[in-house]
Amino acid sequence: MIVFLIESYTWRLQLSISSFLKKILKPAQNFSFESEECISLKNNIAKIEYDIATQNGLEHYQFNSVKIDGNNDVLVIIVGYNGSVNGYENKYFKIAKRANEIYGSTVFIVDNNERNWYSPKNYFKAIMHYVKENTINSNIKIKLFGISAGATLALYYAWEYTEINNLLLVNPPLIKENIELTINGMKLFTGNSTLVIGQNDPSYEFGKLFYDDRSLNIFNNVILFDNADHNFKGLLNEFINLPFLYLFRISLSI
C-alpha cells in the first residue's frame, strides 16, 4: 500500500513543488572561482546523459556533475532546484574537497535542473545509475546530502537503493500535498536520516511537526536551525559544516 501511494501521488506534486520553489528562490548568480582547487573542479564539470526505459518509451535525462575519485565511501550531493554544481561561494566544491581530503571519499556533485522534473523518480534513478556505474568498487556505501529539491528526491526515493545508508536532508520543500509521500518514503528507508530545517524556512512549521511529534518516528534526527532561511544566507560556514556534523560526525574549523 505504501509503495502504491508513492507511485500514485508523485505526479500530482511536480507542479506544486516547482511553484513553491520558484516563489522562494532567486535566480542563480555567477561567482568567480578564486582558488586553484575550484578552477580544477570547474574544468572537470561533465555533462551526463541517461535514457531511462519506461512503459511509454525512453525518457532522456541530462545533468551536470563533478566527480572526485576516492574510496568506496561515497558522498553524493544533490543541489537545490536549478542550482549549480559549485553553489554560492563554491560551497559544494569546498564540501567535496574536504570530504575527499579527510576521508578519501569519492564525491559526486549533481545539479538539479527543472527540465528533469517531469519524472522525479526516473531522474533520481538516472543519478543513481550514474553514481553506481562510475565507482571502482561495486560494494559502495552512499552518504547522500540533499538540499532543497535535492532533499525532496531523497525523501521520496532513497529507500529504493540499499547502497544509500545515510541521509542529510536540508530544507526540503514540505507542503501539505507531499507530507504523506514524505512520511511513506521515509518509513521505507532503513538507514540513518537527519532532517535540518531553518527557523526562517517556509517549511519550518512542518519540520517542527516532525520535531515535536516523535510518534511519527521517521527521522533519526530533526534539527531546527536557528536564524537560518532556505538558503542559509549569512551562515555559509555553518552550512558547509552540516554534512561533517551529521554524515561524518565531526565538526570542522572553517
Contacts of 91 (CB under 8 A, 6+ apart): 236, 239, 240
pLDDT (0 to 100) of residue 34: 56
Under CATH, which number does the domain 2-246 receive? 3.40.50.1820
Q: How many residues does the chain have?
A: 254
pLDDT (0 to 100) of residue 162: 95
Task: Write out the DSSP string of 140-183.
Answer: -EEEEEEETHHHHHHHHHGGG-TTEEEEEEES----GGGHHHHH
pLDDT tens-digit series, residues 195-221: 999 999 999 998 898 898 877 779 999
pLDDT (tens place) for every residue of the chain, 254 residues total: 444 334 444 434 444 544 544 444 444 333 344 566 677 788 889 999 999 999 989 999 999 999 999 999 999 999 999 999 999 999 999 999 999 999 999 999 999 999 999 899 999 999 999 999 999 777 899 999 999 999 999 999 999 999 999 999 999 998 888 888 888 999 999 999 999 999 999 999 988 988 988 777 799 999 999 999 999 999 999 999 999 999 998 655 55
Whether the CB-CB separation of 167 and 194 falls below 8 Å is answered with: yes
Domain ranges of the chain: 2-246
Burial letters 171-198, b for 16+ CB under 10 A, else e: bbbbbeebeebbebbbeebebebbbbbb
